[in-house]
Chain A
Amino acid sequence: MKFVSHVTYCLSASLALFAAFANAEVELHGFGSIRVGEISGTIENPNIVDLYQENGLNWRDESLFGLQSNVDLSEDLSFNTQLIGKGINDFDPEVTLAFARYQISPDQQLRFGRVSMPLFSQTDVQYVGYAHDYARLPKATYWRFEFETVDGLSYEAKHALGDFTARYTLIWAEFRGDVFKNVVPDGVEIELQDMRSLSFALGYQNVELFAGVTDANTKGKNIDDFVFSPGVRFAVANSGADLLSQQSFFQELSVSKDASYKFWGSRWRHEDWKIEYERAIYGILNSIDALTYTQYFAISRRFDDYIFTIHREQYRQNQASPAGLATITNNSLLKIAQQLSIGINEPGYAMNVLSMRYDFAANMALKADYFRGGSYSHGRFNGFSLGVDFVF
């Protein structure tokens, strides 16, 4: 699958040239968010929930601009590219989507290139604020992973039978990039190979059930090097454990293992009301990474062009029980592993959020939210945001 990244860019370039020579019709659209917000807590800048890493009002972290082009090369074949410049990355544009789409039939399509990976139910529109009613999608679940877009092949199909509808997506892909950019300036390189994903949504009248699962083989030597810092290696070497136990320690806690992402939930609409619930469990299995459990429950009510949503979101990682610790029998090594787990795994938080959307102009929505919650590691916190989401 390593060739896919290179093929993506070759494909982008060749199709763009083809489009230019063929005078194919190019459709351009854009979206953006300009948002200011602040978080404060019992300690200065609690630096939790991956929000507003600096003190005071923050204009940058959630502001972004996106541009998308769609080129119809024929009735069945089109090419899409999407660039996003995020404020948190100094608005440096990155290619988030670049795929060729082949329409097999009206209800089936193949995509090849850089495609969206449905880690969660609304992963594919989390940056298009105008497309959803939250000020931001529940952060506990929508943490914004670098591998939300991957390079590979996607098959999508839809079926409708009476009042029932079904949509499902199969993806085979890979990811190679940097993660932990909020911890290390240049991030830490990671590879997710042989990613396989199945997601589906079943609808009946006003009810929708959705679920998805993604598995991947993680190649995380650089993350292992990052986790097993010289200080950790020194502590292990001086733990008094035999050499075999020391080697086993690193093998058991290594993140070069299988990763798994699962989500499921439902949404229900009735007249002006909408209720939504989503739950997700994910992590790198049998490693130092403790499984992450997230969920949110939201109720929305529409008043013409105003939509008010109140939701509760929770994020939890059990620092005491990463599966990798289970096989470490040496007490000294176990203590080191437990300290590592505390440093790496976030014990979690829960917060309640009240958000408002007001469609004040064509293609523009004003959004505001107020959130309040508590973190196991950082105490209580609260914050707000105000912003405008738009599309064109």
Chain B
Amino acid sequence: MYSKLLRFVILLMISWSSAAADLVFVVNSNNKSEFTQAQLMQLYLRKAESFSDGVAANLYHLPRNSAEHQQFCMGILNLTANQYQSFWSRLLFTGNVSAMEHRDNSQMLLQIQSDKAGIGYLPLSADHAGVRAVAILRDRQLEILVP
């Protein structure tokens, strides 16, 4: 019985780890700005508003209840998705931002392709053609991609 339980737990852990996919951060292909981990964090926490070229960034997120969004929150910001929502409401109700914008994978790709100031993230395995990949989040480690 214990071996069955152990197998169940192992399967559960495998399925859990597979739910947390690697993420790729993407910007418009015309965006030539340089990126660092600190800068990504500052943008998503609204401590900085613009890319290194001075253009104001438009932030996009995957759906709030998706595993990828939760992974993004924890991996980049060290916040749970709920905490990030709480943080965002702090900005919202002081009139500093609009509501958080969520897109699914395909909408995200189209959005970043068309928005020169857009930045978002996608599962690494998802299609991200026609946009510029700037960083990969893998096991809570961020790897900045050099253009």
Contacts and interface: CB of A to CB of B under 8 A. Distances in A.
A78 B90 CA distance: 18
A80 B98 CA distance: 11
A160 B44 CA distance: 13
A25 to B, nearest CB: 10
Given A70-B98, A80-B95, A165-B47, A302 B80 contact: yes
B93 A131 contact: yes
A107 B42 CA distance: 12
Contacts of A111: 95
Interface in B8-45: 36, 38-39, 42
Given A27-B98, A82-B93, A101-B95, A158 B86 contact: no
Q: Is the interface of A mostly helix, strand, loop or mixed?
A: strand
Contacts of B54: 105-106
Interface string B82-126: 110111011011110011000000000000000000000000000
Given A82-B93, A131-B89, A271 B78 contact: yes
B138 interface: no
A165 B54 CA distance: 15
Given A27-B98, A362-B64, A128 B93 contact: yes
B56 interface: yes
A120 interface: no
Interface of A: 27, 29, 31, 66, 68, 70, 78, 80, 82, 97, 99, 101, 105-107, 111, 116, 124-125, 128, 130-133, 158, 160, 162-163, 165, 167, 203, 205, 269, 271, 302, 304-305, 307, 359, 362-363, 365, 391
Given A106-B55, A128-B93, A162 B47 contact: no
Contacts of B65: 362
B93 A365 contact: no
Top 10 A-B pairs ranked by shortest CB distance? A106-B56, A359-B82, A160-B48, A131-B90, A106-B50, A80-B95, A106-B49, A165-B47, A128-B93, A124-B94
22 contacts: A70-B95, A106-B50, A107-B48, A124-B94, A125-B90, A125-B93, A130-B86, A130-B89, A131-B89, A131-B93, A133-B86, A160-B39, A160-B47, A163-B38, A165-B42, A203-B47, A269-B78, A305-B82, A362-B64, A362-B82, A362-B85, A391-B89
Contacts of A302: 80, 83
The secondary structure that dominates the B interface is loop
For B39, B64, B89, which residue has the most chain A Cβ atoms within 10 angstroms?
B89
Given A29-B93, A68-B93, A70-B95, A131 B87 contact: yes
B38 A162 contact: yes
A72 B90 CA distance: 19
Contact of B95 (A99, A130, A271, A365): A99
Nearest to A123: B94
B42 A160 contact: yes
A365 B48 contact: no
A302 B82 CA distance: 12
Nearest to B65: A362
Contacts of A359: 80, 82-83, 86
B90 A97 contact: no
A96 B144 CA distance: 43
Nearest to A160: B48
